[in-house]
Amino acid sequence: MQEGKAYHSDYNGAKYEVRTSPNGKGAFTASVYSNRRFVGALKTPAATIDEALKESSLIIKAYDKFKNAVDSNIDGSGKDIPYANGTIKLTWVDKESNEVLHSQMFPNIEEALKNTSDKKDWMVFQLKKYNKDNNDEYTWVLLPHGKFKTYKKAMFFADSTAAKIGITILCIAGTYFIVSQSIKLIKNGKLPIKK
């Protein structure tokens, strides 16, 4: 078996793909996909590719059990959940328009960070919770990567009444200072007014 390779598996009539890759520390990570949809990943790296594939088979079995429960409407939704808790979302602003936001899903933070070099104003989120009962609501947690500090500051100023009042006071004080200095210069003849 080779490192950095995709392995294909059939289980209960469904097709799965297991993507393995070295983690740079002598171990291997593995991510499982079904129909190009991320299903899950190893929580801790495996010592060998064979161990990574063995652990991946457990993810496939658990997903198959979950999928069958959803398909048989045991959980009441009858819907397949597109992303597992822990999924990483990389978001970035379009290079042409600040009004367009792109996103891409990854099984782990390392994979997401590998894809940031050509992105403008990017941030990373992790899926915390999926709520099928609230119109398929996803709860994402902002992770400390990319422009997260700028985002947090912008949200503070957008939501803070104190910040809005402070900015207003600074604008009024600045205007007062400029006008009062201009009046002094005019009175002292240092700022001539053309008639």
Full residue range of the structural domain in which residue 182 is found: 160-187
10 and 64 both lie in a single domain: yes
Asked if the structure places residue 81 within a domain, the reply is no
Residue 105's Cβ-side half-sphere holds a number of Cα atoms within 13 Å equal to 17
| Domains in the chain, number | 3
pLDDT of residue 125: 92
Q: Name the domain boundary from 23, 38, 71.
A: 71
pLDDT of residue 66: 63
Asked if the structure places residue 154 within a domain, the reply is no
Asked if the structure places residue 195 within a domain, the reply is no
Would you give per-residue pLDDT tens digits along the chain (195 residues)? Answer: 444 567 777 777 778 888 888 877 888 888 888 877 788 888 788 888 888 888 888 888 877 766 654 444 333 444 556 777 788 999 998 888 888 989 998 888 888 898 898 888 899 999 888 777 777 788 889 889 988 888 888 777 776 677 678 778 888 888 988 888 888 877 877 766 666
135 and 182 both lie in a single domain: no
Asked if the structure places residue 126 within a domain, the reply is yes
Quote the Cα angle for 13-16-17, to 5°.
Answer: 155
Q: What is the pTM of this model?
A: 0.45
pLDDT of residue 191: 67
Asked if the structure places residue 192 within a domain, the reply is no
Asked if the structure places residue 178 within a domain, the reply is yes
98 and 143 both lie in a single domain: yes
126 and 175 both lie in a single domain: no
19 and 67 both lie in a single domain: yes
Asked if the structure places residue 194 within a domain, the reply is no
Asked if the structure places residue 31 within a domain, the reply is yes
